[in-house]
Chains A and B, each alone.
Chain A
Amino acid sequence: AQKVTQAQTEISVVEKEDVTLDCVYETRDTTYYLFWYKQPPSGELVFLIRRNSFDEQNEISGRYSWNFQKSTSSFNFTITASQVVDSAVYFCALSEAASGSRLTFGEGTQLTVNP
């Protein structure tokens, strides 16, 4: 069965600090997809990134970067030089080939960036 664990329930940092959000997943499928979503205080869910299991290249998008390591079943998310607007709940999610596009979410990490 698929499972996603985000062990950090809450993280608090000061603006301009770098912060890494951890995500560990479990799956028996060899083909799967990993996602990160952001839920700001306004409540909507914003798609950030999608990664398939065959692509372990790290990705950078502005201040955001993602580190995918199959050896440790992790897909961690780093925000560089954090800003107050980064304050949100961040969700990691997994989709297995066997279950179509159904997403299994982690419990989420509440990130608070203080000025």
Chain B
Amino acid sequence: DTAVSQTPKYLVTQMGNDKSIKCEQNLGHDTMYWYKQDSKKFLKIMFSYNNKELIINETVPNRFSPKSPDKAHLNLHINSLELGDSAVYFCASSQERTRTGNTIYFGEGSWLTVV
């Protein structure tokens, strides 16, 4: 059983298009994240939601809009895609048992290529 699942795994699209990546976790966690891994494999947080409430919003272009319909889902919508958006996007989740330092579990990643 996949704990954190995201779809699609691979996505190739043209510049200017709008696309979404969906994420679901079945771990019963209350916090979900989106991380971006660039071509040099550097990982950086984009967003974090706790119980459907946005709690972390890094300096990300407003073309990126996360949406959390419930605490088990966190989708990422990207408008007007640019070449620089090509990356691997990881969804993740954690259970906030303590205020900090909780273990974060990642999905398998979504490879986005903008051409």
A: residues with CB less than 8 A from B are 31-33, 35, 37, 39, 42-47, 50, 52, 89, 91, 93, 95-103, 105, 107-108
B105 to chain A: closest residue by CB: A47
- Mark B residues whose CB is within 8 Å of A: 31, 35, 40-45, 48, 55-56, 88, 90, 92, 94, 96, 99-109, 111
24 contacts between A and B (CB under 8 A): A33-B100, A35-B103, A35-B104, A39-B41, A43-B88, A43-B111, A44-B109, A45-B43, A45-B90, A47-B103, A47-B104, A47-B106, A50-B101, A98-B100, A100-B48, A101-B31, A101-B48, A101-B100, A101-B104, A102-B56, A103-B35, A105-B44, A107-B41, A108-B43
Smallest CB–CB gap between A84 and chain B, Å?
21
The verdict on A91 contacting B43 (CB below 8 Å), with A96-B100, A102-B48, A103-B104 known, is: yes
Choose among B43, B44, B92, B109 the residue that contacts A43 (Cβ–Cβ < 8 A).
B109
Contacts of B44 in A (CB 8 A): 105
Number of A-B pairs whose CB atoms are under 8 Å? 71
Closest residue of B by beta carbon distance from A93: B43
Q: How far is the CB of B32 from chain A (nearest CB, A)?
A: 11
Is B107 touching A100 in the complex (CB atoms < 8 A)?
no
A32-B101, A97-B99, A101-B102 known; A89-B90 Cβ under 8 A = no
User: CA A37 – CA B107 in complex, angstroms?
Assistant: 13
B87 to chain A minimum Cβ distance, whole angstroms, is 12
Cα–Cα distance between A4 and B94 once the two chains are bound (Å): 21
Query: Bound state CA distance, A79 and B95, in angstroms?
Result: 29
Contact residues in A for B104 (Cβ distance below 8 Å): 35, 47, 101, 103
